[in-house]
Every structure is written in C-alpha cells, then in structure tokens.
C-alpha cells in the first residue's frame, strides 16, 4: 500500500515545484529544497518495497515498518493538500476581486497569511523529515532486497506444494461436487469437447473435483493413458513435458537436459496415436506463447484425447482454449455439508461425544463460509481440543486469530495475493474496510481507490477510471470477488467470500501493541476508538448515526467519508475542515444551503454523492470543485443548475435521475469536454429542452438511465430543425439506444424521413442494442387515404436509420411500412436478437435466413401479415454451394399474429437436398395467440428437427383443430417423427 501513496507524493511534488509555483511563488519559497530532498528519499525507498511487501505478509515487524512508511507518505500528501488548498483559495479570491478592479494587488494581511502558512509548512516538513530518517534507518536493519521500482507485473512465486491424483473419497462432501463430476465425465466421454476447465478461488475444491473425475471408473476405462501434472507457477514448459513423458514411459529424464525441442519431440512420440486424459492442475499462466508449444505437441494424441485444467483465473482457462460452456465453477458447500466434513475430521473415533459438541460445532462450521479447505483446517484444529470450552473459544474467534490459520489456510490465498501486481495488492486489501457479506458497488469502490491514490495520478481524461475497471475485473477473474452482478460486460455489484475477507483483514491488521497504544493515546476522549482506528488504517470512514465521531484531528486525514441517513449537526457544520477528502457520500441526509456551501470548500473532491439530500438550490460555489469527476445530484428538487457548474472541466459523470423539477441544463454544458455520462430519467430524456447542449458533447457515452438491461440512452425525435442532427456527433454512446420518433401528420413523417440520415447511426459502433419506437398521437394513421404514403415514407425513414453491422440486438415497434428495410436481411449484418412488435401494415418479411449470427427472432402483433412465404428463409435456388438458412437461430417465436393463416413449406427437393441446411441450431419454436394458422410446415420442421427440443403452442385454436388435442396423437407426432426428444406443449 505504501508504494501507491509514495508514487502520488513524488508526482505531486514535481507538479507543485514546476507548475503551481508559477502562480504563488512566495508561498513555497524557503521549503522547496527540503521538499525535493524528501521526494528523493521517498523515490529511493520505493526500490525495496517489492521485497518488503512480500515479507510483510507474515513478518509483523516488516508490516509495521510498512505501515509507518505509508502513514508518513500520507502525512506528506496532507501537507501538499494544504499548499494546494491555500493556492486554490487565494486564486479564487483573486478571481473574484479581479472582477471588481482591473488588477489584483495582494493586501498586507494576505501576505502575512502566506508567511504564516510558509512557516507552518516548513515546521511540518521538518517533522516528516525526522520520521522519514528514522524509517530509512530501520530499513537498513531489515536488509531488504533492492529491485527496480514496482510495476504492474507480478513477480513469479515460489513453488507450491505438489498435488497428486490420489484422493480420500470418504472426505468429499457436496451435492454440487457430484453434479459437476457427472457433467465433466459426460463431456470427457463425448466426441466434441477437447479442453475443459475448473475455475474457482483457492480452497473451493477444484483439485478435489479433478481427482474425482480422474479416478472415475468410466474415465479409467475410456482412456488408454491418464496423466496428472501439477503445474503451478512459473509455467515451466520443459518440466511439464518431462512430467508427461515420465508418466507415460516411466523414464526419468535427467534435470540437466533442457533442450526443449528434443523434450517436446519425445513427448509427441510417446503419446502419438494414444487416447489420453491429461490433467493440468493449478495453472496460473495467462501467456499463450508459454502454452502454445505444449498444445501443438499434445495434438499428436489419438482422436478423443482430452485436457482438464484447474485454475483460479478465467483468463487462463480461455487462453488455453476452453469454451464458456466447458468452464465449471464449484459452488460453496452448505453449512450442513461443512459441518459433516468438519465433524468427520474433528470427531473421528469420538462418536459418543457428538451430542456434546454438535451445537457449537455447527456454529463453527458457518465460519467456513462453504469453503471445503476451511472445513478441513478447522476440523484438524478441533481434532486435538477435547473440552467444550476450547470449541467455544474457536467459535468466538475470527478465523485469522486461530492458531495455524496462517500456516494451513491463508497460504492458499497468499498464492493468489502474491500473484497480484503491487497496485492490485493494495486495491484488494483495501476491501477489508467493508463489512462481511457487503454488496460492494463497483463505481463507488473505484472512486475510493482513486481517492486514496491507489490508481495513480488523476488526469482529466477517463484513464484512471478505466484502470479501476480493469483492476476490478482482474480481481474478479482471479476469483477474489464473487456474486458478480453484471450489466453487459461491466460489473455493477460484487462481494468478497468471507474467508477472502478474513484474509484481507489479516493483511491490514496491526499487531504492533506499541503502535496501537500510541494511536489510542493520541485519540481524543470523544471519538469512537474503532472509527478512529478505521480512519487511521484505511484513510476511509463510514459512519451511521449510532456511532459518532467528533470533528477533530482524529479523522482530519480521511480521503473517503460516508455518512448514513440521520446525520446533521454538529458534524456537517464543520465539514469544510476536512480538506483532504476526495470521495464524499451524504446521500439521504437533509442538507441546508449553508451545508452545501461548506462542502463546496472541499476543493480536492473527486466524487460527491448527494442523492436525496432535499436540495432545492445548487449554489454557484459548486463550480469551485475544480477536481470533481463524479457528481450525483439525483432525487433532489432543484429546478436548474448554475452556469458555474460548467467550470468543472474534469467532470465525467453527472447523475440527475429523478430530478423531476429540472427544467433545463446550463447553456455552457457543451464546454465540459470530459463529460461522458449524464444520467436522467426516461421522462426527462424525452424532453428536448435537456438535449440542447448535450448534442455538442462529442465524448458523451451515456444520456439516459441504467435499467436491468444495462445503460439505455434515450432520444426523442419529432419534426423540427436539427432533431436527428443532435445525434450526429455522439459517436461514443455505449450500451442501448432507445430512439423514439414522434410524428402526427404526413408532412412531419416526410420531414423526418428526409433528415433521418443526419443521425449517422452507422457510426455509433459502441451501441450494442437499438430500439426504434414510432409514436403517433392522432388517429390519422388508420385512414386508408394516407396509408400508402405513410408506408412509403416510413420505409424511407427506417432505411436511413441503418445501424452499424455489429449491432447485437434490434427492436422495432410501431413501424408503419409495408415492408422491412433492405439492411435488416443483409448477410453483413451480425445482429443476434431481433424483436418486431406492433407493426401496422407489414404484410411480408425480408429474407432473414441470410443473417449469419441471428439467435432469437420474435415477431409480435404483425396485424396485417396473413402469409409467411419461403422468401423469409432466403434460399437461393440456383446456388450450387452448400446453403445454411438461419445458421445460428435458436429461438423462433410468433406472438399474436391474428391474421396469419398460412406458413409456406419448403419443397420436397429442398427437404431431401444435402446441400441445404435449415435452422440447424433451432431448439425452441413458440406460436402464441395466432388464432388463424391452420397448419405447420412439416418438411421445414423435419429439416430442422435434429436440434429442435421444444414446440410451444398456446391460444392457437385452428392448429388444435387440425392436429387434435392429444399431443401424443399421430398428427402431432408426424411433426417430430425424426426426433423422439422433441417435447410438445399445447
């Protein structure tokens, strides 16, 4: 953790000396040399931090040394904050006074303040210097190994304990284990899958599951060779190859022979033509160039050979070639299963004592949090505790306080921890600040990492937030987070497994009694010692109204502060004293105007969350928060925002959801070049008054809201100048785009059709889902005299709204054309999901069978469609090549097509032709409330029947008349005659 703060301090010193001195040179004169001297010392100490971090995991004295270094670096950062604070304060005052007179002349009182500040700053630096000199002296006593400054790349770990294929079956617990074992065995015996992976956190039972599979009777009889290799880290290709050769030939290759070419050639020869199962246990590498030579030579085995991998990283599994469906993630054991496992170990041979220990034993089992390894460790610990009091002591203790926990349990997590880069280590251990089982908000966590300097220096662009996202994904992929809730590919919420949380606490806990006593002595008598300890340890503080803390030096250095509902006086009145705060959340707290003005004096704020704070006015002082990047003003009652908000040049996210009284955005919002996300309600987004300045924000990625389907951008378009043009430059929009087109007359439709191309949807390459809604307020649309013209113009309009070809999902509602646009059936269109709903006049479909990646097609309320012809399939009769129609289609649904009475079948020749495949992946066919359809296309369904598993027919009375009510009758079965697995639901 110390490296993060040191890096920030070194960068800030350079910035102050080189840049900020230009504004108020007298403010830092006299201490510049001392400052640079300290910076050089901090830069030097970074060279031993890598070794210190490794040793600090188990060595308490090293951990304490690192903590003192981190605290000193934070203190230096606090001093820099104070400098910056006064610089900003005087700069803003100068700006105000310059508006009154032509030039700004510092007063004698201001000069006096500067002298006082300089003297005070010099004394603080001297104090830091003394402490740092002592820390550096202690550094020499530890004899740390000097290395290059830490980077984002982890250092290879020491060797792990080698696993074997042998297993004690009686110690295996869990229904999920049996289920996963059966599924994996089934895949290993099948013909298609080649590489399978078991992925999960340390101790979850990956190796146990692999051992069960490896020793299964069916597996043993199926494979000529079974080979078990414990890989670990680093990925030693020569050693792995030698292990395989030794397992097959029993030949021991001398350690000195490291000619990789010869070893791999020998490997290929010994497995050539043999069907093998290779288990690669505990793989860590993510580098394809390390895996590729082995993979190439393993292909020399016979057809049906399989590889089973265990790893903690999803990225490793995918790099090795595992498909998503072939990745298995063992689940946690239930509390009852943990107790069964723990009981079998701790009370082995002591069955008569079960009743005495059962109650407390079950409570201890809950500490395992479903982790088999924890149950084993605690079981062995309890095995030698013979009285109830000793068991109760274990139940009352945290896992990391128990004897042998570090030796037996945490090393499995230490392996994961050591594999992290230094920045990831500090980001991970910080999460101990949250309580167990806490649902962590991803955006909030990233803001806190940023506030603490863990993501490096903060620039005006979005690189720091992107780095935070990458760090979060990296930790999740290594199974250090669980229960990840995603929208698209982005994690929104996550949790830490209880044992992983215990480990993070273990990394942060301070066992130095002298330091703890000193901290308590320095704390005042008013503050809650636990809160003060949290503030000192994490530079973060989260408080509810039941735990109060005074506004004093005990918490003055916090970077992250969150207050829960119920707070007000006196803490909020003195909020402006917390000048080091970067991330502040006061949501659901009633704020007065003066409170908000005080908050606006916290000039270093990067994240300010004021949701539901009963705000009626936003003061102009909000523009003084020049470092603000994330501003949440949602669920408040103000009617407008001050123009001063346009001075927030680093602002990236502005949340205005549920601000029902908001009338418009400031005119100058177009100047916020870094603004990427504006969150507003659907109702607000549909009102053109909020869109005016937004159209010029070329970097905007979100203008809308977050739904269960992800980020939805909403734009309402109606007749008038520049309506579609507002979308022209917004090419960075991400997520979903909901485009509402409002028109009441034929001339309005004509105008919209003429200007629709200005939206340039083809350039919106980050939009994965597009929903186009045609909204009509008048009944003229039903008048027969307008229908033809309306249809023609609607087709022109939607043709001009062609999206980019890699769009994933397309929904069109309320369309009035007779036919669909040409681009919808283009083979260059890679859309996966199409939903057509409530189309007024559509009577035929384009050849959608040409779409190469379409998986789901839903046609709903196409009230004028009577006939579904063969052109829908897109079969080219003259083609001599193999034709695949709807090659990826899995689900086909027809809902409420009330006039549809005929579905044209394919010809006998097409059914029998081996050159034509139709819907080879179709698994579901749904026909709902299509009351007129009399017959199904038998030849087409026979052609697609090999994959078809489910036909659901509801509310379609004519089909029931044709085929009868008995779904087991001959009429219905004639549809599925080639597929006994097909299920009918009528």
Q: Over pLDDT 70: what percentage of the chain?
A: 81
The structure tokens listed for 166 are: 């042998």
Q: Which of 593, 595, 637, 594 is nearest to 612 (CA)?
A: 637
The Cα–Cα gap between 578 and 550 comes to 12
**Under a CB-based contact definition with an 8 Å cutoff, are residues 272 and 300 in contact?**
yes
Checking if the pLDDT of 712 tops 50, the result is yes
Token pair, residue 800, equals 């001009």
- The residue-averaged pLDDT of 760-769 equals 93
pLDDT at residue 174, rounded to an integer: 73
Exposed / middle / buried, residue 423 (Cβ in 10 Å: 0-12, 13-18, 19+): buried
pLDDT in tens, 274-296: 999 999 998 988 889 999 999 99
DSSP string for 669-694? GGG-TT--EEE--HHHHTSGGGTTTG
Locus of tokens 């973060």? 540
Note the pLDDT of residue 919.
93
Predicted confidence (pLDDT) per residue in 682-701, tens digit: 766 655 566 767 878 888 88
Question: If you average pLDDT over residues 47-74, what whole number do you get?
Answer: 80
Distance between CA atoms of residues 417 and 425, nearest Å: 7
The pair of structure tokens assigned to 234 is 């680093």
Q: How far is CA 32 from CA 20, 29, 237, 706, in A?
A: 12, 6, 53, 48
What pLDDT, on the 0 to 100 scale, is given for residue 67? 81
pLDDT beyond 50 at 24:
no
SS3 call for 281? strand
pLDDT-derived band of residue 760, with 50, 70 and 90 as boundaries? Answer: very high
For the cut 50, the answer to whether the pLDDT of residue 611 exceeds it is: yes
pLDDT value of position 781: 46
**Tens-place pLDDT, residues 797-832:** 999 999 999 999 999 999 988 999 999 999 999 999
Per the rule left: phi > 0, alpha: psi between -120 and 50, beta: everything else, 495 is beta
Question: CA distances (Å), 293 to each of 92, 263, 287, 661, 858, in order?
Answer: 63, 11, 12, 64, 46
pLDDT digits (tens, 9 = 90+) for 953-964: 999 889 988 888
- Which of 218-232, 660-674, 872-886 tops mean pLDDT? 218-232
For tokens 């049996």, name the residue: 178
Q: How far lies 669's CA from each of 416, 672, 692, 982, in Å?
A: 45, 6, 9, 59
Instruction: Write down the pLDDT at residue 814.
Output: 92
The answer to whether the CB of 168 falls within 8 A of the CB of 299 is no
Instruction: For 235, list phi and psi in degrees, rounded to 5.
Output: -75, 95
Q: Look at residues 222, 255, 224, 223 and name the one whose alpha carbon lies nearest to residue 238.
A: 255
For 7, other C-beta atoms within 10 Å of its C-beta total: 22
| Predicted pLDDT at 254 | 64
141 is written with which tokens? Answer: 């006593």
Triad 847, 709, 690: Cα angle to 5°: 100
Give the chain's radius of gyration (CA, Å): 34
Structure tokens at 855: 């998986």
Quote the pLDDT of residue 112: 37
When mean pLDDT is compared over 395-404, 716-725, 748-757, the highest value belongs to 748-757
What's the rounded Cα separation, in Å, for the pair 225 and 307?
12
905 touches 940 (CB < 8 A): yes
Among candidates 653, 698, 699, which has minimal Cα distance to 680? Answer: 653
Q: What pLDDT does residue 152 have?
A: 42
Cα 979 to Cα 942: distance, rounded to the nearest angstrom: 8
Per-residue model confidence as pLDDT tens digits over 106-116: 443 334 345 55
- When pLDDT is cut at 50, 70 and 90, the band that residue 149 belongs to is very low
Query: Is 797 exposed, middle or buried, given 0-12, 13-18 or 19+ CB atoms closer than 10 A?
Result: buried
Least confident of 145-159, 248-262, 583-597, 754-768: 145-159
Task: Read off the pLDDT of each residue in 533-556 and give the average, rounded to a whole number.
Answer: 74
pLDDT of 527 over the 50 cut: yes
Q: Is residue 885 scored above 90 in pLDDT?
A: yes
């Amino acid at each position: 953790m110390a490296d993060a703060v040191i890096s920030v301090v070194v960068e800030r010193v350079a910035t102050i000396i080189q840049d900020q001195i230009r504004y108020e040179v007298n403010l830092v004169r006299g201490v510049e040399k001392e400052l640079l001297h300290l910076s050089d010392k901090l830069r030097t100490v970074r060279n031993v931090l890598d070794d210190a971090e490794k040793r600090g995991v188990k060595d308490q004295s090293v951990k304490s040394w690192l903590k003192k270094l981190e605290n000193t670096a934070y203190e230096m950062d606090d001093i820099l904050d104070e400098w910056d604070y006064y610089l900003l304060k005087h700069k803003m005052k100068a700006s105000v006074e310059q508006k009154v007179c032509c030039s700004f002349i510092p007063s004698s009182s201001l000069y006096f303040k500067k002298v006082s500040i300089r003297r005070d700053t010099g004394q603080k630096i001297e104090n830091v210097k003394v402490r740092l000199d002592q820390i550096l002296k202690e550094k020499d006593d530890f004899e740390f190994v000097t290395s290059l400054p830490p980077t984002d790349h982890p250092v290879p770990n020491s060797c792990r304990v080698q696993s074997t294929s042998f297993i004690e079956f009686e110690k295996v617990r869990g229904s999920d284990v049996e289920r996963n074992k059966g599924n994996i065995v089934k895949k290993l015996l099948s013909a298609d899958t080649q590489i399978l992976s078991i992925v999960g956190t340390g101790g979850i039972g990956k190796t146990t599951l692999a051992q069960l599979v490896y020793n299964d009777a069916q597996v043993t009889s199926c494979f000529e060779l079974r080979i078990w290799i414990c890989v670990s880290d680093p990925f030693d290709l020569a050693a792995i190859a030698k292990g395989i050769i030794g397992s097959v030939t029993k030949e021991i290759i001398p350690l000195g022979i490291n000619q990789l070419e010869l070893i791999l050639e020998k490997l290929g020869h010994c497995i050539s033509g043999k069907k093998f199962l290779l288990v690669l246990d505990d793989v860590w590498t993510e580098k394809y160039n390390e895996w590729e030579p082995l993979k190439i030579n393993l292909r020399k085995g016979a057809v049906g050979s399989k590889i089973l991998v265990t790893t903690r990283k999803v990225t490793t599994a995918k790099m090795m070639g595992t498909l998503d469906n072939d990745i298995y993630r063992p689940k946690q054991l239930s509390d009852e299963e943990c107790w069964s496992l723990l009981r079998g170990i701790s009370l082995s041979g002591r069955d008569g004592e079960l009743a005495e220990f059962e109650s407390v034993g079950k409570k201890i089992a809950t500490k395992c949090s479903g982790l088999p390894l924890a149950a084993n460790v605690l079981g062995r610990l309890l095995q030698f505790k013979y009285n109830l009091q000793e068991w109760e002591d274990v139940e009352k203790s945290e896992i990391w306080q128990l004897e042998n926990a570090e030796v037996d349990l945490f090393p499995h997590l230490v392996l994961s921890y050591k594999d992290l880069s230094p920045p990831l280590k500090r980001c991970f251990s910080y999460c101990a600040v949250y309580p167990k089982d806490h649902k962590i908000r991803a955006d909030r966590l990233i803001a806190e990492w940023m506030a603490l300097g863990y993501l490096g220096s903060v620039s005006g662009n979005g690189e720091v937030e992107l780095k935070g996202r990458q760090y979060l994904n990296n930790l999740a992929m290594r199974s250090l987070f669980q229960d990840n809730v995603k929208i698209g590919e982005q994690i929104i919420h996550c949790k830490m497994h209880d044992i992983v949380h215990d480990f993070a606490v273990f990394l942060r806990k301070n066992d130095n009694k002298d330091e703890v006593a000193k901290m308590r002595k320095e704390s005042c008598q008013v503050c809650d010692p636990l809160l003060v300890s949290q503030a000192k340890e994490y530079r973060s503080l989260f408080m509810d109204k039941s735990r109060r803390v005074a506004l004093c030096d005990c918490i003055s250095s916090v970077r992250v502060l969150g207050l829960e509902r119920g707070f007000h006086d006196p803490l909020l009145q003195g909020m402006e004293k917390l000048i080091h705060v970067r991330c502040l959340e006061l949501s659901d707290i009633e704020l007065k105007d003066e409170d908000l003005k005080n908050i606006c004096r916290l000039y270093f704020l990067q994240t300010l969350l004021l949701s539901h704070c009963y705000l009626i006015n936003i003061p102009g002082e909000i523009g003084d928060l020049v470092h603000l990047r994330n501003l949440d003003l949602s669920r408040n009652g103000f009617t407008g925002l001050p123009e001063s908000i346009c001075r927030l040049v680093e602002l990236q996210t502005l949340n205005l959801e549920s601000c029902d009284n908001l009338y418009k955005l400031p005119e100058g919002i177009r100047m916020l070049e870094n603004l990427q996300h504006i969150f507003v309600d659907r109702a607000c987004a549909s009102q053109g008054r909020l869109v005016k300045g937004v159209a010029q924000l070329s970097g905007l990625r979100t203008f809308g809201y977050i739904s269960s389907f992800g980020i939805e951008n909403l734009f309402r378009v109606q007749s008038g100048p520049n309506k579609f043009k507002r979308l022209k430059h917004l090419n960075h929009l991400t997520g979903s785009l909901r485009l509402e087109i409002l028109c009441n007359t034929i001339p309005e439709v004509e105008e919209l059709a003429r200007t629709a191309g200005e939206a340039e949807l083809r350039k919106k390459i980050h939009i994965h889902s597009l929903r186009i809604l045609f909204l009509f307020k008048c009944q003229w649309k039903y008048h027969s005299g307008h229908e033809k013209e309306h249809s023609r113009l609607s087709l022109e309009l939607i043709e001009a709204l062609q999206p980019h070809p890699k769009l994933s999902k397309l929904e069109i509602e309320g369309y009035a054309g007779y036919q669909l646009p040409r681009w919808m059936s283009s083979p260059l269109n890679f859309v996966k999901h199409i939903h057509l709903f409530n189309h007024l006049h559509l009577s035929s479909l384009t050849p959608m069978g040409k779409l190469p990646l379409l998986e789901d097609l839903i046609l709903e309320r196409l009230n004028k469609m009577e006939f579904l012809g063969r052109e829908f399939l897109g079969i080219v009769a003259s083609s001599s090549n193999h034709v695949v129609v709807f090659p990826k289609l899995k689900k086909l649904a027809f809902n409420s097509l009330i006039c549809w009475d005929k579905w044209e079948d394919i010809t006998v020749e097409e059914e029998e032709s081996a050159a034509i495949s139709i819907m080879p992946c179709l698994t579901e066919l749904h026909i709902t409330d299509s009351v007129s359809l009399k017959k199904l296309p038998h030849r087409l369904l026979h052609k697609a029947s090999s994959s078809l598993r489910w036909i659901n027919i509801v509310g379609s009375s004519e089909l029931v008349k044709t085929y009868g009510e008995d779904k087991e009758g001959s009429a219905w079965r004639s549809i599925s005659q080639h597929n006994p697995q097909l299920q009918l639901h009528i």
